[in-house]
Structures are given as C-alpha cells and as structure tokens.
Structure 1
Amino acid sequence: MILVTSGDRQVLSAISEVLKSEKYNFITETSGEKAWEIILQKKPAIVIADWTIPDVSGLALCHRSKSNLEHPDLMSIYFVLIVKDSNSQQRQIGLDTGVDEFLNNPIDSSELKARLRTALRLTALTQSLTWANQRLLAQNELLDALSLSDSLTKVLSAQAFATVMPKMMQQLKGFVAYKSYRFLSVLIIDIDLFKSIVDSYGEKIGDEAINAIAGRLSNSCMANSLIYRHGLDEFVCVTPHGDTASGIQLSLNLLTSIRSHPIAISSGLLFPLTISIGGVVTALEDQNQRIPDLSFDELVSLAEQSLLQAQKSGGDRDYIEVFE
C-alpha cells in the first residue's frame, strides 16, 4: 500500500492520477498528523510525502519513521520526499534524515513512475531479505533448542541446567505474582544401584533403563516442572509451587512412579529399580526476611547434600529440606 500526503491538493491530484492509471493501492491525506496515524496503523510499504505539509512536514514524518525505536518495522518503509526541483539544500537535509528517494515538484508522471518502480523493487528485496533472515533466526533457535535437549532421554540437557537455569531464577521469582507460585522445589534424583546394571548387562541396556526412567519421571512430574539430565544416572526436577506441601508431594509421586512396577527393556528384561531423591523447597520471595536469600547454585548444593542423606539411609526414599 502507498500513502501520499501533501497539503497541496494539486500535487495530490497529479500523483493520484498516475497511481490510478498504474492500478496501485493507495491512500491520500492532507494532514501530516493524520498521515502519521495511518503510518502507525497500516504501515504502508511506500510513503510519498511533501516537504511542505502545514502541520507535520514530510521530512518530520520520515524522521519519525526512520528513528522510531518503539516501532522498528517502520524503518523499512520506502520514503519518497517531494521537493522543489532546484532546491539542493532540501535534498541534502533529506538524505541526512533517511529519505530513500526524491520526487520533483511540479510532478512529472514519467519521473513518478520510475521512482515507484525503483521503490517496489527495493521493498520487495527488503521483504525477501527479512523473510530469509527470519528463517535463519528460526533455524538458529531450533539448533539452540536441540542443544538444550539431551540426545538420549529428550529431557533438558545438563548443558541447559548449567547455563540456562541460573538465569531463570529472576523469572521464577516473578511467579510470585503469577498464579500465586510462592515456592520453588529443586529435586535431584539418582537411580539406585545403577552401576551394577551397567556392569552386568552393558551400556546399551543401561541407556534403555535411563531412557525409560526419564519417561516415567516426565509423566509423573507437574505440568510446570522442568526435568533435566544431570550426569550419567541423575536427573533434576525444578518446579514452582503454591505451597511447600505440593513440593514434598511431588517428590513422593516421583518415588512411587519408579517403584510401582519394574522397568521394562526391549530385550524383555525387567528391572525392579528404585530412586533416591534429595531436594530443597524454598520461598521464592521472603517477605519477612526469615530465610537466607539463596542463589540457584546454593539451592543445588543443598539438594545434593540432601541426596546423600537419602542414599545413606538406604535409598528408595527422599530427603527434603524446607525453607519457609
């Protein structure tokens, strides 16, 4: 769509005749302020603006478009400024402002048609480059997503846990005002006696067992949980909660999901496996300053200490430390 704006109705009429004859889709406007509203709402591909619009000049409209940080998509509008044929100073100022092309006044139909053809070619090229760039960004995002997924279990990877999770702490604290998530649980899950399976049956069977357990954990965790691979036979489950009781209950649910029935392997083997869980449940925000302000690394360290307590107690159990 093309927007033509000028306070001179003869200029508007001359340009309109050419646009009609060439079957362009266009809008005309005599007010600079109203033209700006059209630019914001409709985002025309091409704007033909007169230097001498009484309220807001074409030069000002160009400056607003090309330097608008709130609406960066306006920067790609192809801006044609109507200037006096002999006024070189207007052209220099226009170039400094970001004008893409100039159109002499009085209007010459052949010159206008040539300017429009150039504008259409360049806007088409810009759109093509934008589309190609969007595809490239999408591909890069896909590659990033793949790198954050564990290749064996398809849960989030150890790399994601180490690099992404610490940065999410501030976002998780924002959950206090969103859906009333006031607490966070960090549960570290270890497969009991897993080394004996690998030693007896080999790494392939071990990988199948890990994959099966990852599936059960994913199916048994909460909808807002994040499950990460954490070393060879460990996982981490990070979940925001409305209260501490749901964090403790989640740990019990995960224990039950593994011990409830044996892990089936493709070869027909059945392994009655169990897990140990060490965790911490803490308030995301402490209004009364009764608990320490723990970093994510400190939460993980506490969860690891809790896991050692669960393992020392014989496994197939959890040990959860609560801060509230």
Structure 2
Amino acid sequence: MAIGLGLLAVFGLGPEWVQAPVSVLVMILGMVALYAGPRRNLRPADRLPWRLIRVAGFLFIVASVIRALVPATMATPITAMSLIPNSFVLPAYLCIGLAFTVMLRRRRAGEDDPARIDALLVGLAAAFLTWTFVIAPAIDSAGLTPFQILDALFPIIDVMLLVLVAQLMLAGGVRQPALWMLIVAAAAMFAGDLLFSLRDALIVDAPEATITALFLTLFVLIPASALHPSSRSLVEPQQIAVRDMSHARLVVIGLVVAVPTVITSLMPLGSLANDLIRAALCALLVLLTLARVVRSNNQRVRAERATRRRATHDALTDLPNRELLSDTVARWADRATAEHLEISLLFIDLDRFKMINDHWGHQVGDELLCAVAGRLGEQVRAEDVVARIGGDEFVIALASPSHLRLAESLADRLLDELARPFELSVGDVVISASIGVAKSTGGAHALELIRDADTAMYKAKGSGRNAYAMFDTSLRELVRDRVKLEQALRGALERGELAVHFQPIVDLATEELDGFEALMRWHSPELGFVSPIEFIPIAEETGMIEEMGAWLLRESARQLLAWSGIRGPGARPLHVSVNVAVRQLRDGSLVKNVDDVLRETGLPPDALWLEITESGVMEDIEAALLTLNALHALGVTLCIDDFGTGYSSLSYLHRLPVGIVKIDRSFVDDVGQAGTNEPIVRAVLAMTHAMGHRVVAEGVETELQRDWLRDQGCDMVQGWFYGKADRPANLTHWIERPVPA
C-alpha cells in the first residue's frame, strides 16, 4: 500500500509525462497483489470474491486501454463512442458488487441485524444527493445529449456498491485493516464516478488527473486489502455483540434524515417528476428511519427477554434452573397449608455419567443430557416443573394432595424410562439413575427441600444405584456427620494425622514372609480413630485421595527399603502392596508418580505391588488398560483386589496385565468347614493358576482356613492368623524372623 500511495503521489505531483507509466505500473502491481494475496491468506473455498474482483480489474484495464488508444471515447461532451469502454466498465462494477455480496453473506453474523436498514439509509441519502445534484440537472438541461444523461446515471451504480460496503462495515464483527481499505476504496470509486459524471454533464470542471487518481486508488487499496492477513475476516462469520447504538452511528442516521429534508425544503421547485422523485426518496428515508427505531425497540425487548430467560433457564436443555425452581417451590409453599398441598421433589442424578464424557466426549454427553431432559418432560404433568440444576442433576417438583403417592409412582416410572436405550449419534447408549425423594407440606424452605432430596439421592446411590430413596430426618444427621468428617480430613496429611500400617503377607508353602500390604490409617485429635471404611470414600469423592495416595506410595516404598537394609543381602526379597483408588486410576499422573517414587527411592520395580479393584477397572476398562499397561511397562506387579465381589469376568481378566489375584475375605470365611464358598475358591484358584497368575487369600483367621488353602494350592495368605495391620515399629519380629526349617 505504501508503494501504491507513493506512486499515486508521483502521478498527482509529477510532470504529465510520468502519468501514463505510473498508471500502468499501479495497475500491474494491483493485479499481481490480487493474485498473491488470496493464495497466501485464504483457503481455496474462500477465494471467490477476490476472483470476481480480479475479473473486474481486467475489465477496468481493458476499458482504460481502449480510452488511451481511441481518444474519441474520451471526448467532451461525450459521444456514442463512450459506450465502447463503458460496456467493459459496467460488468466490472457488477463483478465488484457480486464480490461484496458474497463477502457480506459469509461475514454476516445474524439475520436479525440492523445493518441492512442502516446501509439502505446511507444508500438512499447518497441516491438523493446524486439525483438532486447530478441526475436531475442533467435531465433538466436542454443542451445535454442522451449519452451525457446516460453517463450521469453511473453514480447510481456506485450508490448500490456503497450500500453493500456500508453493510459490511455496519454488520458487526471486527473491523480490521482489510475492511477499512475496502470502505475507502468504495468511497474513492463513488467520488471518482461522481466527478466524472459532473464533468461530462458540464456541471463541474474536474481535472482529468484527479478523476484518474481516484480510479487508480482502487488498484492500490483493494489489492492491499487482499494482501493483508485480516482479509480472512471478510469471508468468515462474525460474532455480533448486542450493544447500545454508538454515538457515531446515531449521528450518521441523523444526518442521513436531516440533510435530504433540509435540501428538499430549501431548494426551489423544479419539474413535477423531479419533485416527486425527491419527495419519494425523502419519504423512504423517513419510513426507513421509523422502521429502524421500531426494530431497535423490538430488539431491545427481545434482548431483555433473552437475558431474563438466560438467568432462569439452563443454556443446554432450556429447562428451568435452580433459581427458577427455588422461586416456584417457594410460591407453592406459600399456599401449601391453605390448600392442603404436599410439595414433592425428585432429585435425579445419572449414574456414571462421567464415563459417557470420558469415552465419547462432551458433545455426546450434552446430547444425552438433552435426551434425558426430553424423557423427563414426557413423564410429568403440565403443572409440574422439570429443572436442570447441575451437570447431570435434574429435579422434578410436584404439588399434589398429600394422600396421593405421585412422587413414588413417578420415581418408579422414571427408573424404567431412563433404563431404556437412548438413540444418540454414537448408537444406543444405556444408563441408569439414582433418585432421591423429599416431601414437605409447606414448612420447609425451597433450598432445604432441594438439599433433602439431594441427600436421599446419595442414599439411593449408596444402595447400589438405579433406585430411589425417600428422605427421612436420620439422613440429615448422617449428612451432618459426613460434613464434619470431611472438614476434619482436610489437612490431616499436613498435620501428620495419617499413618501407614503394614499387614504381613506369607508364602503358604514355606511359611516365609513374602511382603506387606500397606494400609492407610487416620487418628484425628477431635474424632479419634476413624475407620478407613468411613474416610477413604470421602477422600475419593473430594479428590483428596490423589494426594493421600501419592503419600502412601512414597512412605511404603521408603519403609520397605529400610526393612530390606535390616534383613541383609542374602535374605528373601520382600514386596510392598499398595492400594490404588479408582480416582487415582483415572488420573493421568499415576504412572508418573509411580515412576518418580521408583527413581527417588531406588526400589526395584518388582518389589512394588499395586492393588486395583475390579469395579475401578470396569468403570472404563479401555482407559484403565492404558494406565495398567504403562504401569506394567515400568516393571511393577499389578494385583486385582477383592476378586469375586465385582464382575469376575474371565474375558476382561485375560486382557489385564496382572500378576496377582487376591480372593476377598468374604469367600475365605467358611473354607475348611465344607462351606458353600469352597467350590468358588477352588474355581478361582484353578482359573488364575491356568492363566499364570498367583493367588493371595485375604482374611485368614484360623489354622483350619490356612491348612485348607494350602491343600488347594493357594500361593499366599494374609489375615489376623498371622497378624493385624500394625505400625512398622511393632513388626520388627517379622523382619528379624529366622527362615523356617
């Protein structure tokens, strides 16, 4: 652009003999830029507007060559010869207009945009001025030839191009350099044609150099626009932010209405046709301005409605949100006592919804949420409220006479409905839900009722999911205790309240110590000893288990190294077995944490056993396999914990890179007494040994259980028969124990 504007300065200020070569040079450079710019900045599918502009450029050049070679086409006043170059100029204008139209169609952010009306206002004002000062004088002049009158109509084409450019400018979105160059180029084209028409109509004595310079501006600014990287914004959809009308836009619209009105009032009457056309143009301007005001008001009202709806409805499903649900329940509560109504809330949570997002992505998850919202709406009455208050959490509110069991029957129906497959873009997806039901006759606050239904939902989840549970006051006490426990657990690690206890694991064939299972224990100064059954689930739900698990892994490895140093180099190598929580298994940093611990401590990888539960693996077996294979590649030993209590599938056990299977204590309780679990334990031993795995039996408490397991070929055992989990200081007798004969 700098080179082009420099050449235009030479054209205007230099001697007359440089004008022709400068014109040729500017046109050549412009056409080269029109080829290079779109190829560099745009995809092939986005280059159509610039191809049209290139065609227009060639047509303009052809017209210029004809005018240069045939001086009669440039005679003043003009003659029929002027039609020859104009026959190329007219299609060139049409190509530019079509290019601007394509840009506008691709750039426009929305159909409901005021840019159309504002651009038409600008175009009508320009048309009014052009008619008043160019076309009407040309028509009224008795001395003008038909060719001069026809030439005076050319600015009308520029007005149409101005309307398109004005829409590009006013249609919102970013106004980057490429757009401003097009705007200035269109204005220069309008000014050049206006002077050309005024000169040919013998109204203004405009220098030829000035008109040519304005024309050459097109070959500088439009190619520069194509070269600039912001040309992408001309063919990409733009986001419009709804905002108040700017002062500049208001001033422009005011001038557009005021100037033609003032001119019409001040100018003397002319011919009837001239006055009618001016009056019609003024009337159109007034009517369009009125339409602009009405449209702006309607847009403001719609924007206010949309804002209110966004504040009270969920953006994804368009269901009422928590605020609207609370307001509705509060209104019902005000009249519940007087009308003997019972307000019921069903708190619905989709089971294992995270698996859907993790496996298929959030787009499919959103698709499922919308499908669930649709099914919920089909099951309720018109007066009921279905709301979405969280990620995969929905609430249905009912108001009915207290003797009706609407909530319970609805909960049963919903469990059946949600269990039916959902037809999504990835195929049929089957889910289940847990539902909590809470009721009130009007005394409870809306948020309290939602909280109670939420509490009952967690009771349903704890009962095995795909069920509903009714709220009762005892649940509130449980929640209070849970919150107290959670608050106490936060910071327990930093305060040194956690400890690692170790339980011996013994080789049945030799009665030698093979290793220890590391178990986390918590002693709170406020609550005393807290069972792992109570605090581990809370740690998993809150995410604290990730930091606690990493600490357990590191402490266990350090303790095993310390014990190995005591036993000496000739002793049997020991292992330490550490439990991995489901949340840790999902966390991508588990493999790195294990690798870091092995590197920091120098612990041999095969001395570390990691125990994973069946349910943790099966929640997302494909993702679990990636993590387990990476851990196996580090050389650690993987164990399936509590085998037999979960899925116990041979097909998935065959796929997992495990080396140890641990039989749950519930199957060991009655072995050796002809108990019902003996065939199960035999089958597990035979199956796992056939796969090349070793077996550890948990919960061995009697000599009879130990002997029976040894007779069946079980590899290792642990349990109170050998010792409970204890602090390292109390286990030195195991470390110093002599090898049995």
Q: Structure 1 or 2: larger helix share?
A: 2
Instruction: Flag the structure with larger Rg.
Output: 2
TM-score (norm 1): 0.50
Structure holding more strand per residue: 1
TM-score where L is the length of structure 2: 0.23
